[in-house]
């Protein structure tokens, strides 16, 4: 890609643990591309300079109520270069499903990541687990006993991506 092509491209950079963040990144890219925007999906480790792209969207899973350490470290190390962050998303299995204490803790953490990255918009989506949680884990987090392992809803991701597309078109 030429420098001009990079500047007209939105990069969706993510870290993932079990693939849900990647699925969300791909759904965002599909939605933005359908709206005529140039998009490139890449792992965060492949994003050498945030300033190479016209816009950025970041994604991370929430594990143990926090983003993966490499995600937060990247934001901290590149904070001066984050003037073009359109969005930040996180995927969490317990957000909005468990005890308010856990939901509030996750929301506060993602709010802090949103501020650190200077993202214009950020969201938390459901996450898929590779296996069902043990009953004791559901009890600790206040999850209903019939909570399914797949909490990822692509339509919620697409809806947020539509909002991002509108925001890009308005600037």
| pLDDT band with cut points at 50, 70 and 90 for residue 149 | low
- 62-97 pLDDT, tens digit per residue, is 887 899 999 999 999 999 999 999 999 998 866 566
Tokens for 162?
């539509």
In a 3-state reduction of DSSP, which class is residue 72?
helix
Higher pLDDT pick, 2 / 11: 11
Higher pLDDT pick, 44 / 5: 44
**What CATH number belongs to 3-170?**
3.40.50.360
Span 143-157, mean pLDDT? 71
Domain ranges within the chain, ordered by starting residue: 3-170
The per-residue pLDDT for 1 is: 45
Higher pLDDT pick, 152 / 161: 161
Mean pLDDT for all residues in the chain: 85
- Give me the phi and psi of 46, to 5 degrees please: -90, -10
The per-residue pLDDT for 2 is: 42
**CB proximity list for 161: less than 8 A, separation 6 or greater:** 27, 28, 31, 32
**151 to each of 11, 25, 111, 119, 148, how far by Cα in Å?**
25, 16, 21, 24, 7
| pLDDT band with cut points at 50, 70 and 90 for residue 127 | low
DSSP 101: H
Against a cut of 0.95, is the pTM above it?
A: no
């Amino acid at each position: 890609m030429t420098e001009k092509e990079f500047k007209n491209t939105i990069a969706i950079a993510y870290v993932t643990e079990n693939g849900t963040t990647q699925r969300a990144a791909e759904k965002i890219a599909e939605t933005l591309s359908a709206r005529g925007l140039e998009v490139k999906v890449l792992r965060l480790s492949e994003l050498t300079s945030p300033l190479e792209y016209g816009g950025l969207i970041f994604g991370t899973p929430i594990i143990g109520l926090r983003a993966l350490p490499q995600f937060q470290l990247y934001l901290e190390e590149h904070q001066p270069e984050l003037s073009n962050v359109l969005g930040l998303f996180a995927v969490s299995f317990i957000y909005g499903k468990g005890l308010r204490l856990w939901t509030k803790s996750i929301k506060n953490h993602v709010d802090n990541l949103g501020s650190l990255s200077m993202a214009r918009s950020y969201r938390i989506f459901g996450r898929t687990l590779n296996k069902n949680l043990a009953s004791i884990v559901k009890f600790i987090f206040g999850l209903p006993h019939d909570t399914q392992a797949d909490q990822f809803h692509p339509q919620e991701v697409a809806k947020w991506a539509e909002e991002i597309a509108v925001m890009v078109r308005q600037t």
